[in-house]
Structures are given as structure tokens and as C-alpha cells.
Structure 1
Amino acid sequence: MKQFYHIHDETMYMLSVGNKGLTETRIGELFGGESALCLSSPNKIMERNCKQYSQSYPARKELTRKLTGLSAKLPIIIDLFGSIIFFCTHSDRVNENSWFNIKHIHSYRDYNGNTRVRFNNNEEIEVDISFTSFNNQYLNALKLHYKFNLEKEKYEFSEMAKYKNNSAGYYRDAAGDRISDVSYKAYLQYVKDSEPHKMDRIT
């Protein structure tokens, strides 16, 4: 059992699991076979990963608010380039909160008052949340994905003119896709301009 978990592109879900008064996490991966357990809660895993990838968890929440106008149960962009977006089932103030990677959800349906979720690898799990609530959270994550990419494209086009003769190297995002120097600089500028507080150091 792990003390900490590093979220990556193939992470499908982080489910809250109670164990003798403690909150642990059941983690499912796209090609991971059986789910694994982590001693940290889903909320703690999320907070630490946001910090490792780019910024603090509060800063990621503020970015979501600015882009979507949402005020509660906020979906979160974990990495720098928006390739990993998770949404939650409950408030992040409660231990029962679980997180899902929108990228790997194939479908979901009502199941005896809860929600039955099917992932892209055909794994299915039952989640203790109503279909209506789950659907609302899923749509909020879609909204964040759409709004983020609209803003990102605006900056890429505006910065392209400034750097059109720049033939510097390429960066890679969390999914391993090549990101041009133009896109990289444009996104860093976007993050800097979006946050009301001082941006955490990005390495």
C-alpha cells in the first residue's frame, strides 16, 4: 500500500474509502489491472499533485472559478496544459469526496439511486452519488475543458506573431504530446495573468 500517489494521464479515478476511522484511497488506472490502495485521502492526493505539477490546489480552484463562473465542487486542471482534468463527487471539505478523470469515462447511468460508471477500459464501478449529481459534475468538467482551451487558443494565436521566427525546442505536456515553444510561453503568460495571487514557482 502506497503512502502517496502520483496522478498521471492513465489515472481513471480516486475513490474515498473508510478504514477504521481513517480515509484512504482506492485508485484505478486505465491499464493497471486491479485497483490499488493509498494511505492518503483523495483530497490530500489532489492537493499534493496540483503543487507538484504546477500550482497550489487553491490556485487551481481559482483558475476554474475565473474560467467557468462555478462556485462549488469545482473541477480541477492538474497539469500545465489542461490534459488532466478531474471532477469531484462531493465538497472537498468532506472525507467522502472522490475524484474522476473526465478523459476516461465512457458512460454512466442511474443504478438504484447511485451511479454506475463505465470507463474506457470497460471497468465498471458503482458510485455513491445520484445520477443527477454525477451528471452535473461531469458537465462542469466539460465546461472547464472547453473554456480553458478557448482561452489557451487565444493566447497561442496572439503570441504566435511575436514568436513566429522563434525556432526554439519543444516541450512535452503530461500526456507526452509535443508542445511548441510558442504554446508553452503563451500558456505560462495566461496562467500568470489569470491568477489574482502571486503564481507559485513552476519548474
Structure 2
Amino acid sequence: MNRLQYQIHEETMYVVSINNNGIVESRIGETYGDSLECRLTPNKVIERNCRNHSQNYIARKDLTKSLTSITSKIPVIIDLFGSYIYFCTHSDRVRENNWFNIKHIQSYWDNKGMTRIQFSNNEELEVDISYSSFNNQYLNALKLHYRFNQQKEKYQKKEAGMHFQYPSLGRGDTAQINETIYHSYINYINGLQARDRV
């Protein structure tokens, strides 16, 4: 049975397009179990998940552009913390697009003009894109991952130098709520960095 929506999570490996009686829908692979189907196009799955993480897709693309200067087939960070970085095989104007979670790509190679991908659970998938194009998209996603983590480190060093005196975000009840969310975000980032060092 097809889902009407899908929430990307830690174990989501890919969102690829399938043709269902002339309608473009999505097949979604997770590290466990069988793949799932969703009635949305892969682009719509990505867009809705960006919104679920408090940013729209355009803002996520703009972040990538500002960090990397990539302007075509832009990889995106789905969440606010850089946990889910996805790259595409085509322009987002193409409905038959495919999106891959960089974290779950184990290896990939040329297979008669197409690209065969092996994921972290050893599942393999063949996509209709040349090896050189896929490799370029993968490297762009790596660049985004690197630049984003560079910015996190710079921000943390700056905050450490200020002895964790976070700047105030404003006045009033709404600002207090925003400030609480802001501090929670900073604490979460600090936790990620601590975990990465172990």
C-alpha cells in the first residue's frame, strides 16, 4: 500500500522515482526491511521533510549555495543539525529525480554507462546516471558536509571564547521561547561534536 507521506529518519538511505501507471511516485529504501512506496514524487518527499524540520526547501538550497557556491543539482541538509544530507541525480525541475543520503553510500561504480550503488546495509541499486555525474554529485554533498561542519566548529570556538554567554535574541515572551529553542539547538550541536570526537 502506498503512503501519502514519509518522514525521513536516521535509517533512510534513498528516495528514488518509480513509474506507477504513468504517475511518478517514490520508492524509499531503509537500512532494514523492504523498501516502501510513497505517492509523492521524490522532490516532494524532500521538500516536505525540509518543512518538517522548520525550514523550507528553498532556504535549504540557499544555505548550500552560501556554504559551497554550488548552483546546480544542489545537495541539501534536510534538518537543522546537519544529520541528513541528501544529493540528487537530476535538477529538481525533473520529476523523475533521485535523492541519496550521503551517510549510507558505501561504494558505487560504473555499470555499462549507468551507476551501481552499494549502501551501508549491502543493498545494491542501479540508477540511470553516468558514473562521472554521480561521482560529481557525491563530491558536492561531501563538500557541503565539510563546509557545514567547519562553520559549526568556528561557531563553537567563538562561543567557547565567550564562556557560553549566548547572545540574547530579543525581549518578551516570544523571544524567551525562541531563546530556549536556540539554547537547545546549541546544546544539541555541542552534544553532536562531543559524540563525533569519541
TM-score tier (shorter): 0.7 to 0.9
Amino acid at match of 2:17: S
Write out per-residue CA displacement over residues 6-27 of structure 1, whole angstroms, 9 at most, x where no aligned residue: 0111100001111122110000
Q: Aligned equivalents of 1:163 and 1:72: distance in 2?
A: 40
- Aligned runs of 1:84-163 on 2, under 5 Å? 84-163=84-163
- Aligned runs of 1:1-203 on 2, under 5 Å? 1-31=2-32, 33-164=33-164, 171=184, 178-180=188-190
Query: Which portions of structure 1, spanning 4 or more consecutive aligned residues, are displaced by more than 6 angstroms?
Result: none
**Ranges in structure 1 where 5+ consecutive residues have no aligned partner:** 184-203
Bigger relative CO (Cα 8 Å, ≥ 6 apart): 1
Shift of 1:159: 1.5
Q: Aligned equivalents of 2:54 and 2:160: distance in 1?
A: 23
- Secondary structure at the aligned position of 1:28 is classed as strand
Give the TM-score of the pair, scaled to structure 1. 0.81
Larger Rg: 2
Q: Aligned equivalents of 2:14 and 2:117: distance in 1?
A: 11
Q: Aligned equivalents of 1:98 and 1:64: distance in 2?
A: 18
Amino acid at match of 1:66: S
Percentage identity across paired residues of the two chains: 57
- Secondary structure at the aligned position of 1:164 is classed as coil
- Secondary structure at the aligned position of 1:60 is classed as helix
Q: Aligned equivalents of 1:180 and 1:116: distance in 2?
A: 37
Of Structure 1 and Structure 2, the greater helix share is in 2
Q: Aligned equivalents of 1:14 and 1:8: distance in 2?
A: 12
Task: Name the count of aligned residue pairs.
Answer: 177
Q: Aligned equivalents of 1:172 and 1:74: distance in 2?
A: 25
Give the TM-score of the pair, scaled to structure 2. 0.83
Shift of 1:178: 4.9
Q: Aligned equivalents of 2:54 and 2:163: distance in 1?
A: 24
Shift of 1:180: 3.9
Shift of 1:171: 4.6
Shift of 1:29: 0.3
**Ranges in structure 2 where 5+ consecutive residues have no aligned partner:** 167-179, 194-198
